[in-house]
Structure 1
């Protein structure tokens, strides 16, 4: 009979062997980077389901607008007849090296849409390779508004972002300057600034609104502030050390890209004809927009 000490040692080793796979390090996720563009989404608790819905939404509408995403073509060398065994072995090695290279390329190739970490709860950022995410975002909200079908349960807002920069005033002003050249140089228009911040108290609301408004006016003196019916809305989303910037036409009319409100503009859910006792329910608000770490202001 084996001693108890030996049994306990064996059982401990067995426990460690069986549980190694449960304690493996998580795959490192790509982080936000300067110059990225994509889509900023807010959700209600279930972030994994929100990411899955974002992929489904974006790929569905992108395939309709731009066609299916094409995978990189794999090139294989043509077989050559009349070689000796040594040359054939060399060709086999070349094929294996080419196959390994293709696998590595596929592993690191960038997809049309890719989730990147914001390190902020209920805040999702989907990086895109599209040149103009705003065009796709407008197409999505227009289709949802016309059909009344949001195709999402967990995604609350889905806002296209044109550029990402560091969350400090010099970088924000530089990034905004290049962005405003595209939107505010030509014809005078009305504008408003939508500012939200999460887990960042360094960027002050009054400071950023004042500087960005002055920057817009410097592009064209005819640009005017309109808090209620702005034709162009400047989106400023500060997440920890990052700032997401975008300029969107008719943002307020599009319910601030809230998919649930776009699908149900009256804010009520119609009672089923089969259930006479069904009560009307209001569309839930975005919990992120009411968090203690965020302000939302216009100027």
Structure 2
């Protein structure tokens, strides 16, 4: 007679397998991409972000799109197609080379979409500028689409070490006015004033002619702290582009619509 099935063990292994299959990508050191926020549907936010990013990326980087097309051979029989599908079953392997990939931040209605693009700022700024000029509303659930140039641990030592290449890129030339914007979610351990003071000293050390302007700076140094991570960007026209709030960018001057985040 066969041995009785251990239901508890079977349930445990099924749950363990299911958990493995649905495991979300998480923030990690060195990522770059886009911080996406929503007040409504997180799923809708991600869907709209994917559509927007892919559409504009295909326009900005047609060489990448052509390279993908060239990889596809015109003559494939059903066996080749089935074999290709089998090779693509492992979604973890596929996501490694995916141009955009949603990543869990641990904060509600706040998603990070990592990218393999060299410069997420160019893509997000292109989208924001077009919406600003045309006043065409392109999203409903996606509010902000903020380019992020580097992710690191949310400590003064880590941030000041990793921000050096970005500061040198943006502040080595002519004098500029700058502001430092610090936002935090689920983190009370970072010394906000201490971090801002350290970064301001680093900017002035690069060029003593740079001046702080909190109202209308040429460049904003953005620090978005989420739990134990700090998302860093240096962004010209941050306030002109409404902090990359796509809905606010689409509002016409004569529209009497209350502003969102």
Q: TM-score, normalised by structure 1?
A: 0.72
Residue 261 of structure 1 and its aligned partner are, at CA, apart by 1.1
Structure 1 position 72, deviation (Å): 8.7
Pairing partner for 2:34 from 39, 48, 57? 39
CA distance in 2 between counterparts of 1:263 and 1:120 reads 26
Matches within 5 A, 1:93-132: 107-132=94-119
1:40–1:158 contact (8 Å) kept in structure 2: yes
Name the CA distance, whole Å, in 2 between partners of 1:283 and 1:48.
24
Q: Runs of 4+ in structure 1 displaced over 6 angstroms? A: 96-99
Q: Quick one: which of 282, 286, 289 aligns to 2:257?
A: 282
Cα 1:62–1:283, aligned 2, differ >3 Å: closer, same or farther? farther
Query: 1:107, CA displacement in angstroms?
Result: 3.0
Instruction: Give yes or no for the alignment of 1:219 onto 2:214.
Output: no
Shift of 1:250: 1.1
- 1:41–1:159: 8 Å Cα contact kept in structure 2? yes
Using the alignment, how far apart are the partners of 2:86 and 2:141 within structure 1? 39
User: Does residue 178 in structure 1 map to residue 165 in structure 2?
Assistant: yes
Aligned residue for 2:149? Answer: 162
Q: Higher mean Cα deviation, 128-137 or 100-109?
A: 100-109
Kept in 2, the 8 Å contact 1:261–1:283? The answer is no
- What does residue range 50-69 of structure 1 map to in structure 2 within 5 Å? 50-67=45-62, 69=65
The equivalent residue for 1:292 is none
Return the index of the structure with the highest Cα Rg. Answer: 1
Provide closer, same or farther for how the CA distance between residues 102 and 263 of structure 1 changes in structure 2, counting only shifts above 3 A.
closer
SS in 2 for 1:117: strand
Deviation at 1:103, TM superposition (A): 5.6
Structure 2: state its 5+ residue gaps. Answer: 1-6, 74-81
Shift in Å, 1:138: 1.1
Structure 1 residue ranges without an equivalent (≥5):
1-12, 76-95, 270-280, 287-299
Q: Aligned with 1:118: secondary structure?
A: strand
Q: 2:3 maps to which residue?
A: none
Q: How does 1:252-271 map to 2 (within 5 A)?
A: 252-266=239-253, 269=255
Could you tell me which residue of structure 2 aligns to residue 28 of structure 1?
Answer: 23
Give deviations 1:214-248, integer Å, cap 9, x for gaps: 11111111111011110000010000010000001
Distance (Å, rounded) in 1 between the aligned partners of 2:245 and 2:106? 22
Aligned-partner Cα distance in 2 for 1:246–1:72: 34
Match of 1:191 among 178, 190, 200: 178
SS in structure 1 at match of 2:239: coil
Residue by residue, what CA displacement relative to the aligned partner does 1:252-290 show, whole Å, maximum 9, x if unpaired?
A: 111111111110153x64xxxxxxxxxxx523422xxxx
Report the equivalent of 1:9.
none
SS at match of 1:155: coil
Aligned to 1:86: none
The root-mean-square deviation of aligned C-alpha atoms, in Å, is: 2.9
Give the Cα separation in 2 of the matches to 1:185 and 1:195.
23
1:237 aligns with 2:224: yes
Give yes or no for contact 1:62–1:136 (8 Å, CA) kept in 2: yes
